[in-house]
Amino acid sequence: MIVFQQPWAFVFLPLPLLVTWLMGAYHTPRAALRVSVFQQLVNLTGHRPARGALILKRNVWQQLGVLCSWVAIVAALAQPVWLGEPKVQQLPGRDLMLAVDLSGSMDSQDFVLRSQPPMQRLAGVKRVVMDFVAQRDGDRLGLIVFGNAPYLQVPFTEDHQLFLDLLNEAQTRMAGPKTMLGDAIGLGVNHFRGSDASDTDATKASRSTGRTPKQKVLLLLTDGNDSGSRVPPLDAAKVAADNDIVIHTIAVGDPQAVGEEAMDMDSLKGISAQTGGVFFEAQSGDQLRTVMDELEKLEPQLNDSISYRPQRQLFFWPLGLGLVVQLLVQCGLAGVHVKPGRVPGAATLPGRQ
């Protein structure tokens, strides 16, 4: 579809007529030579002398050429553009970071998923997370893995397949056998600070859900307790809360475990409570799947999008047409002899009509 970005330019179309009406024809005075026999010639012809003038007349083609040229130039001034078909672009509704524990205890073969034989805890977590990610269209996902230290495996991205591929490559103990829980939260906070999540999307979603969804969400999956982070987990959670980050903690280990593999439930509950999140406990794949369903309700998708129509400038077409037509008119004037007209009432000599 063609539209004009400056349609007001068409007010200039009658400008030549207005100029002609206000200013009239252009006059070029010329000196005349008066001869001694002028009065005798007047007496012989019997005509009363009057002022004479030559009027240069254009033919029809010249007039049409000038008219078309002017219309084309005005059309170019109106800036015509071609609007393409509307395109819709989905906007990321939320930044969702997953922090996954890769300590040695995640290698335990006690994770049951849908009545299948017990499997490795990390393998079970991967399967459930894959189903969860499939429902997060519109979210930007990030991945942190932690053991002796936290590592940013996937920065925030809308490429969910890339996220899943790198999650599947994660192995237990690849980050060390320990559980630096507080440092993992701190790394997540630092990465969220560089996130460009907007509050506008949250405001729109709150109207439909009745709850103000957080734009920055961290899911912390672990089966142990902190092994001596530089920043204690509860202190890191306080910093996260100051940065409007919600942390949902998920304990996937054995609550009856003792020693180094024992889970610090109180710390996990405190982390989620300080940031406005929720603490979950999942001892099996079915329980973890239920947890993910609850998270889907707590953090619903923010389906916001923008639509636009691609534009292509077309002003050079009428502008070029106008210049070509004007060039043809000038070439026609150069090659055609102009026939003068005469003002009615002007004196003529005998034999001259």
Residue 203 has pLDDT above 50, yes or no: no
Q: What is the rounded distance in angstroms from the CA atom of residue 327 to the CA atom of residue 342?
A: 29
pLDDT at 53 over 70: no
The reported pLDDT for the residue numbered 206 is 41
Examine the pLDDT at 181 and tell me if it is beyond 70.
yes
In this structure, how many other beta carbons lie within 10 angstroms of the beta carbon of residue 35?
Answer: 9
pLDDT for the residue 55: 64
Q: How does residue 302 score in pLDDT terms, banded at 50, 70 and 90?
A: low
Provide the pLDDT confidence category of residue 58 given band limits of 50, 70 and 90: low
| Least confident stretch, 1-10, 136-145, 188-197, 216-225 | 188-197
Q: Read off the pLDDT of residues 86-103 as tens digits, 9 standing for 90 and up.
A: 877 666 667 889 999 998
Q: What separation in angstroms does the CA of 200 have from each of 75, 80, 94, 112, 215?
A: 40, 34, 11, 41, 10
The pLDDT assigned to 51 comes to 67
For 228-253, what is the mean pLDDT?
Answer: 90
| pLDDT score of 200 more than 50 | no
The model's confidence at residue 283, banded by pLDDT at 50, 70 and 90, is confident
User: Does an H or E element contain 291, and which?
Assistant: helix 285-298
- pLDDT confidence bin for 205, thresholds 50/70/90: very low
Residues 218 and 156 sit within 8 Å (Cβ to Cβ): no
Best mean pLDDT range from 39-53, 72-86, 277-291, 304-318: 72-86
Q: What is the pLDDT of residue 301?
A: 62
Q: Tell me how far the alpha carbon of residue 225 is from its chain's centroid.
A: 44
24: region left, alpha or beta (phi > 0 left; psi from -120 to 50 alpha): left
pLDDT bin (cut points 50, 70, 90) of residue 193 is confident
**Percentage of the chain surpassing pLDDT 90?**
30
328 pLDDT band, cuts 50/70/90, is confident
Record the tokens describing residue 237, joined without a space.
């959670």
Q: What is the largest CA-CA distance in the chain?
A: 140
The reported pLDDT for the residue numbered 186 is: 94
Higher pLDDT, 44 or 240: 240
Confidence of residue 182 (pLDDT cuts 50, 70, 90): very high
Percent of the residues in the chain that have a pLDDT greater than 70, as a whole number: 78
Domains and CATH numbers, the chain: 2-85+310-342 (no CATH), 89-306 (3.40.50.410)
Q: What's phi and psi for 128, nearest 5 deg? A: -70, -40
The whole-number average pLDDT for the span 172-180 is 89
- Which of 196, 160, 164 is closest to 100 using CA atoms? 164
| Average pLDDT for 227-236 | 90
Q: What sign results for the dihedral spanned by CA atoms 171, 160, 112, 295? A: positive
What is the predicted pLDDT for the residue at 233? 92
Residue 163's pLDDT is what?
93
